[in-house]
Each structure stands twice: as C-alpha cells, then as structure tokens.
C-alpha cells in the first residue's frame, strides 16, 4: 500500500474561514444531508441559523472560544446478521 504525504503547510486559518470556503462547506453539508446531532438541528436548518448568527462561528474559532459539541452516539445494524456498529454523529455546525 502506498502512503501519500499531504502538505498542509500553506493552509492558514484565514483561508479555512474565508467566505468562499465556508460557503462551499455549507453546500456540502446541505448536499450530504445526514441525521441531526445532539442539538437536533437538521441540515436544512443550517443556512437560516448562519443568517441569524452572522460571523458567530468564525469569531469563536479565531478567538479560540470555539468548542465542538459532543457527538450523538447511535448503534446501527451491519449487513451481517447480528452485527452492529457504532456511529458518532456530529452537529451540523461541527460538520
């Protein structure tokens, strides 16, 4: 198996938090849908939440105040009968 070494040295926090990058992330979360996390927020509610709280997330990240929420633990059955696997579902904001 070949291991690829990724270089993240040119990625800055400002680039990650840029409006274009955050909009792309929002679109991906909306497209992926997925179950709500422990806060109950659905992916289709995220855009309105961001509009109602402009800059809150980026400000918290920049200042070091941002703390991800605990994940919601769910056990789902596997295709193999009698087998299960645990999932950790983050909140849509943390995605």
Domain boundaries, the chain: 13-89
CA 83 to chain centre: 27
Nearest CA-CA partner of 17 in 65, 59, 69, 64: 59
Whole-angstrom Cα distance, residue 72 to residue 24?
Answer: 24
Q: For the segment 73-95, what is each residue's pLDDT rounded down to a tens digit?
A: 999 999 888 899 999 999 999 99
* pTM of this structure: 0.77
Q: For the segment 18-64, what is each residue's pLDDT rounded down to a tens digit?
A: 999 999 999 999 999 999 999 999 999 999 999 999 899 999 999 99
Nearest CA-CA partner of 25 in 34, 38, 16: 16
């Amino acid at each position: 198996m070949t291991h690829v070494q990724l270089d993240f040295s040119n990625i800055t926090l400002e680039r990650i938090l840029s409006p274009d990058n955050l909009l792309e992330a929002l679109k991906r979360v909306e497209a992926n849908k997925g179950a709500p996390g422990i806060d109950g927020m659905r992916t289709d509610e995220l855009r309105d939440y961001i509009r109602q709280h402009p800059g809150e997330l980026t400000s918290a990240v920049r200042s070091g105040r941002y703390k991800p929420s605990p994940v919601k633990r769910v056990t789902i059955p596997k295709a193999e009968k009698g087998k299960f696997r645990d999932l950790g579902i983050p909140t849509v904001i943390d995605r």
